[in-house]
Amino acid sequence: MRLKFLSVSSLRLKIILSGLAVFAVAGASMLLAVDFVLQSASDQETQRAVSINQALLSSALTPLVAVADVGALQELATDLVQRSNLAWVSVQDEQGIRLAEAGSPSLSSVSVHEIPLVLAEHTYGRARFGIDHGAFDLASKKALARLVAVIVALLAVGAITQVLIASRITRRLVVLRDAAQAVAQGQWQTQVDTAGTDEIADVAKAFSLMGAAIALRMEAVLEAQSRLQRVVESLSEGVLFHDAAGNLLECNDAATQLLGLDRTQMQRQSAPPAGWKMVHPNGAEVTRDDLPNHRALAQRAMVVRQIMKLALPDGTERWLSANATPLSQPGQDALYGAVTSLTDVTDHVLAQERARHSQMELERKVAQRTQHLQDALARLQLLQVELVEAQNLRRWVPWWRYIARAQHTHRCGGNVCFVAA
């Protein structure tokens, strides 16, 4: 609260000081102008007095100096000082010898002037005189003092006026500030007083319109977010949202069930429980940099169908297929996170393994049967060869029997003997 008060006071102080500065500059300008006018008037009055006294002194003193009447000169000088505005009169002859003097030239308000005493084109001496303008200076000082008093009074009135104006302005600004903070905290329906025709009232009206527009848009955003949340929660696939540093922001229940971890374990990124392990299809362990969301952020590209094998503490093995997409704001290159989807493909992988084993067994049996057929074919070919040889042998059997019969008849002495071949 103290900081808020100081910030408002600072603005109020700036307004007050700016107003006082304007009044001070105006007052100083007035003082300078009045002083200049008074000084000009004093100079003009002095110049007029000098002109009058020059003619008077020249006509009165020159004849007396010409006849060297010192007594008359002294009496006249004293009379001039006492009865005129002259504060000092001094008369010298042409050799510079003082003939008469009255008054004192040492006063600060006395301006000293000098004229030659000429008669019939002959200079008989010189007269010096001082004009006292102290009364005029005193009147000028009094006028300036009154003007200063008026300026000080105007400054006081201006300061009070500035305080009132600044308080009114800052009070309405405080209302706008509090309303803006309320909107920032989610109170989008916050309204402010829009009465008035000044600029702050226009700002208040614009703020109210902005608050209403923000409320409508936030309601639409929240509704869309709620629908999206329901859709994500209804999916059988696991969905995870990570920030640019790889920290988990949100996930659905399917993701926790597929991974066998709760949200706290995943968000803290602590060590998984004993027996929990994730490996690649080749058996290599999946490191943090191998995770789909990290790969998508590092490569700035989608990761599609990354297959991983998950071993759970209860001995269950599960195969997962992961897709990851990096996220960025439209028109910006910076990535602010990644979304990952997980699908249980255990049945598919096991079916593929069974199909692969069945295919291997079938190939083994086909190879075995092929070998049997090849062996039978070889035996058949051998029998064919033996058959051909036997057929060839039968062609020679009659001759062999004839020769054998002839030999037998000869042994029987010409009698025919039938011997079974």
DSSP code per residue over 159-211? HHHHHHHHHHHHHHHHHHHHHHHHHHTT-TT------SSSHHHHHHHHHHHHH
Domain 235-344: give its CATH superfamily. Answer: PAS domain (3.30.450.20)
119 membership: H or E segment, kind and range: strand 110-119
219 membership: H or E segment, kind and range: helix 199-234
**Domain 2-156: which CATH class?**
alpha beta
- Euclidean distance between CA atoms 81 and 94, whole angstroms: 23
Closest listed residue to residue 148, CA positions, set 23, 40, 22, 37: 23
Torsion of CA 143, 146, 150, 151, to 10 degrees: 70
Residues 6+ apart with CB under 8 A from 101: 74, 77, 88, 89, 90, 91
- Euclidean distance between CA atoms 170 and 175, whole angstroms: 9
pLDDT of residue 357: 85
pLDDT of residue 3: 44
* Chunked mean pLDDT (size 10), the chain, 421 residues: 47 74 81 81 79 81 83 85 82 86 75 84 86 76 84 83 78 80 78 76 81 83 82 81 87 86 76 81 88 90 90 87 90 88 87 84 85 85 80 63 54 46 38
Long-range contacts formed by 326-334: CB under 8 A, 24+ apart: 326/296, 326/297, 326/300, 326/301, 326/302, 334/244
Domain ranges of the chain: 2-156, 235-344
Rg, C-alpha atoms of the chain: 64
CA distances from 111 to 61, 86, 87, 117, 197 (A): 20, 10, 9, 19, 62
pLDDT of residue 317: 87
**Beta-carbon-side half-sphere exposure of residue 193 (alpha carbons within 13 Å):** 9
Are both 2-156 and 235-344 of the same fold? yes
Task: Quickly list DSSP for 23-50.
Answer: HHHHHHHHHHHHHHHHHHHHHHHHHHHH
- Euclidean distance between CA atoms 249 and 263, whole angstroms: 10
SS3 344: strand
Closest listed residue to residue 85, CA positions, set 45, 118, 139, 127: 45
- Euclidean distance between CA atoms 76 and 98, whole angstroms: 15
Task: Quickly list DSSP for 311-330.
Answer: E-TTS-EEEEEEEEEEEE-T
Length of the chain counted residue by residue? 421
pLDDT of residue 1: 42
Angle between helices 2-67 and 70-83 (to 10 degrees): 150
User: Against a cut of 0.95, is the pTM above it?
Assistant: no
CA distances from 79 to 72, 88, 92, 397 (A): 10, 11, 17, 201
